[in-house]
């Protein structure tokens, strides 16, 4: 018995002491030793976050140590500072060589990102704005997160695989990027890499390439900042320069911060400079810009009205519209939209409940506009008529013409002066009619047999905003018909196939749907594109900004 007690005591004394949580300042909450995976062995992270409701952008910090050593505790100080500056910061452990070889560590840090995204509400973080940082081996792993986020090749078998492991920004401190060039330029590569990769370069060059971040650079890469010293004898400075060249050649965002004379592992002023750049980088790419709400009418195969954020594209509501064309936000969160297959115009409230519909006798309602007097203007493209109906659905005004029938017309809008603009798509012409049905103004696009005119709006200054196809172009024309401004078209740097829906932001920027290009673009008053969102399968006929 005494021997057994002695042996048990000896084994207990041989175990490393369980790490203790660090002390944190007021305003910072700590979730210590949070398990995120049990693949291979138990993996954990320490999460530091501001004491507030959030959601806050998040940063995953990955320690170095030659893939064989190191501790997540090494990033406690930085994580506390990040939490004090409004980030959720998690420092993570990962499986180490030689017991666990590549790609185990990559799979672990991806599982860590997925864990945070799956538990975003619990830890009050923003799942759409997660960054990664690390030094040396940790820098390499952060790079792999930033460069392979659109691939599942290194997802492994860890939990939360329904979540994305993609990160939105990376700060890499002197991480290796090309292992095939490490052996002759590093004091310890010949000892480190065979243990982690499984062979030296002579016996497995292919696996060295597979493990090298440089070969995953693409236009889809996250924005990356690399900070590297010119006197680094563990990871040569050229490794950072090669990444810089490859990223820029691919059209990806990368900056190389060179610290002259610095070695491997920054100290003093070099460390302060590096961390200042880190904070600025994450503030730039992880702090979401002020989002604005927009509505789109998807005329594509999904056939939906979508409430979304701009420019992120985050969707909040989807309402089936049968591949309808038009949409308008109304006070209180209500939405007015057309459903051509059902020959109806519907209004739903903020909960999605239908509160109004119109009208029997419509053939193909393509446009709808709720007017200031509470009535609704409807463009029936099949019948070739525009009608104004009251709340009871009674027609109080009509304009009809054979020139508009059989789908020759598109959108129609009432002007502030009480006249009505009607787009005659078939001949690329817009007409303005008064309450008596008289045409008081018109504008004819050149090449009328080729071009299609989709939408027209009267601006507060009296000019008219128009959208055209072939090529896609948005025009502002004055009352005399002269072109005041052109966006897109044949002579512009912005190329569109078919400009359909348009809307104006409060700052004067224009939001335009490039219908056949399946994208939305925001253009400033100077004509420069400031935001773009590729819409995948969606083809947006109309859109609106929610003020």
Q: Which residues does the annotation mark as catalytic?
A: 136, 232, 264
Displacement of CA 47 from its chain's centroid (Å): 25
Q: How many CA atoms lie within 13 A of 151 on its CB side?
A: 15
Count of other CB atoms within 10 angstroms of residue 507: 9
Q: 292-298 and 304-310: which strand pairing?
A: antiparallel
**What is the DSSP code (8-state) at residue 527?**
S
- The answer to whether the beta carbons of residues 187 and 66 sit under 8 Å apart is no
CA-nearest of 425, 371, 431 to 397 is 371
CA-nearest of 536, 491, 25 to 301 is 536
User: Which region, left, alpha or beta, applies to residue 27 given φ > 0 means left and ψ of -120 to 50 means alpha?
Assistant: left
As given in the structure block, the two tokens for residue 81 are: 């500072």
Residue 546: strand, helix, or coil: coil
Name the strand (E) or helix (H) holding 467. Answer: strand 464-477
Residue with tokens 């525009």: 386
Residue 121: strand, helix, or coil: helix
Residue 180: strand, helix, or coil: helix
Phi and psi dihedrals of 41, rounded to 5?
-165, 170
Cα–Cα–Cα angle for 349, 394, 432, nearest 5°?
90
Rounded (10°) CA dihedral 113, 209, 195, 106: 10
CA-nearest of 457, 458, 466, 506 to 488 is 466
- The answer to whether the beta carbons of residues 97 and 68 sit under 8 Å apart is yes
CA-nearest of 406, 376, 408 to 394 is 376
d(Cα 292, Cα 3) in Å, to the nearest integer?
Answer: 72
d(Cα 279, Cα 275) in Å, to the nearest integer?
Answer: 6
């Amino acid at each position: 018995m005494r021997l057994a007690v002695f042996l048990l005591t000896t084994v207990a004394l041989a175990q490393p002491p369980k790490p203790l949580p660090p002390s944190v300042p007021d305003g910072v909450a700590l979730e210590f030793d949070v398990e995120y995976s049990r693949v291979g062995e138990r993996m954990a992270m320490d999460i530091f976050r501001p004491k507030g409701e959030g959601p806050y952008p998040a940063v995953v910090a990955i320690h170095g140590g030659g893939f064989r050593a190191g501790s997540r505790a090494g990033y406690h100080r930085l994580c506390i500072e990040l939490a004090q500056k409004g980030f959720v910061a998690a420092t993570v452990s990962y499986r180490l060589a030689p017991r666990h070889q590549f790609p185990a560590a990559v799979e672990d840090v991806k599982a860590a990102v997925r864990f945070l995204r799956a538990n975003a509400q619990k830890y009050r973080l923003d799942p759409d704005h997660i960054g990664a940082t690390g030094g040396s081996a940790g820098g390499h792993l952060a790079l792999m997160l930033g460069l392979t986020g659109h691939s599942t090749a290194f997802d492994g078998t860890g939990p939360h695989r329904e979540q994305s492991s993609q990160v939105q920004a990376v700060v890499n401190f002197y991480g290796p990027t090309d292992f095939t060039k490490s052996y002759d330029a590093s004091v310890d590569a010949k000892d480190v890499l065979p243990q982690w990769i499984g062979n030296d370069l002579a016996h497995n060059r292919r696996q060295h390439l597979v493990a090298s971040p440089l070969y995953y650079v693409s236009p889809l890469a996250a924005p990356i900042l690399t900070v590297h010293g010119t006197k680094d004898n563990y990871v040569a400075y050229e490794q950072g320069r090669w990444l810089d060249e490859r990223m820029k050649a691919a059209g990806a965002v990368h900056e190389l911060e060179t610290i002259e004379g610095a070695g491997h592992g920054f100290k003093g002023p070099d460390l302060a400079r590096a961390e200042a750049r880190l904070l600025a980088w994450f503030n730039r790419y992880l702090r979401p810009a002020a989002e604005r709400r927009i509505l789109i009418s998807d005329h594509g195969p999904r056939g939906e009205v979508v409430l979304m954020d701009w420019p992120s594209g985050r969707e909040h509501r989807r309402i089936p519209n049968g591949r309808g064309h038009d949409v308008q936000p109304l006070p209180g969160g209500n939405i007015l939209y057309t459903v051509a297959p059902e020959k109806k115009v519907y209004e739903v409230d903020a909960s999605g409940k239908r509160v109004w519909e119109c009208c029997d006798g419509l053939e193909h309602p393509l446009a709808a506009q709720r007017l200031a007097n509470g009535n609704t203007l409807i463009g029936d493209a099949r019948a070739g008529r525009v009608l104004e109906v009251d709340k009871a659905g009674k027609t109080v005004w009509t304009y009809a013409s054979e020139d508009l029938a059989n789908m020759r017309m598109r959108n129609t809008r009432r002007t502030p002066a009480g006249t009505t603009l009607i787009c005659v798509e078939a001949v690329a012409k817009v007409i303005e009619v008064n309450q008596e049905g008289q045409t008081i103004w018109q504008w004819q696009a050149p090449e009328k047999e080729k071009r299609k005119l989709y939408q027209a709006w009267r601006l507060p200054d009296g000019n008219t905003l128009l959208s055209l196809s072939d090529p896609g172009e948005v025009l502002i024309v004055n009352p005399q018909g002269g072109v005041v401004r052109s966006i897109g078209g044949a002579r512009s740097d912005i190329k569109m196939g078919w400009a359909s829906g348009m809307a104006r932001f409060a700052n004067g920027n224009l939001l335009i749907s490039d219908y056949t290009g399946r994208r939305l673009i925001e253009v400033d008053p100077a004509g420069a594109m400031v935001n773009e969102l590729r819409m995948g399968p969606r083809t947006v006929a109309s859109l609106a900004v929610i003020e």
